[in-house]
Amino acid sequence: MTLHEGLIWTMVLASAADRELSRGEQKRLRELVAHLPVFADFDQRGLAKVCEACAGQLVAENGIDRVARLIKKSVPKRFGETAYVLACDILSADGRAGASELGVLDLLAELFGLDSLRCAALEVAARARYVKAA
């Protein structure tokens, strides 16, 4: 798996935490892949295939553990903050995060060795980016 795939899988994992990939989350995922520098050389025509591959793994036995291992293997530690904030960005698409979504953030923090202060800063940054005027 490539870095790009690992980051996309991170977003799919976050969006699937509540067992539903909402339209808002799908749109946000496409926008992030289309506009962020880390995805500059990713062929966006393959996005659906990458998302489907992750979703297929998630529904398999021990899927979350398997997906987490693959993410950790494909996303170098120096991109841990990027992966975490991408997950936050996806979760902010619906304006709410329940216990299952927060559990995914905890899993990612553990995977990448991110301390609670760093995670809180990334979460606040994501919320600030997506606040609505009214």
pLDDT, tens digit (0-9, with 9 covering 90-100), for 90-109 = 988 776 666 777 899 999 99
Q: Average pLDDT in the 46-74 region?
A: 94
| pLDDT of the residue at 95 | 67
Q: Average pLDDT in the 17-31 region?
A: 83
Residue 44: pLDDT band (50, 70, 90) is very high
Please give the Cα distance from 1 to 101 (Å, whole number).
24
DSSP for 110-132, please give it.
HHHT--HHHHHHHHHHHHHHT--
Please give the Cα distance from 72 to 3 (Å, whole number).
10
Domain-embedded: residue 76: yes
Domain-embedded: residue 54: yes
Check whether 22 has a pLDDT greater than 80. no
pTM: 0.92
Per the prediction, the chain carries an average pLDDT of 91
Q: What is the dihedral of CA 35, 95, 120, 30, to 10 degrees?
A: -20
| pLDDT of the residue at 130 | 80
Domain-embedded: residue 134: no
- Position 57, amino acid: Q
Name the token pair of 115.
């301390």
* Count: domains in the chain: 1
Name the token pair of 40.
């500059």
Domain-embedded: residue 9: yes
CATH number, residue 118: 1.10.3680
pLDDT: is 83 or 91 the higher one? Answer: 83
95 lies in which domain range? 3-129
| pLDDT of the residue at 96 | 67
| pLDDT of the residue at 36 | 97
Contact 83, 42 (CB under 8 A): no
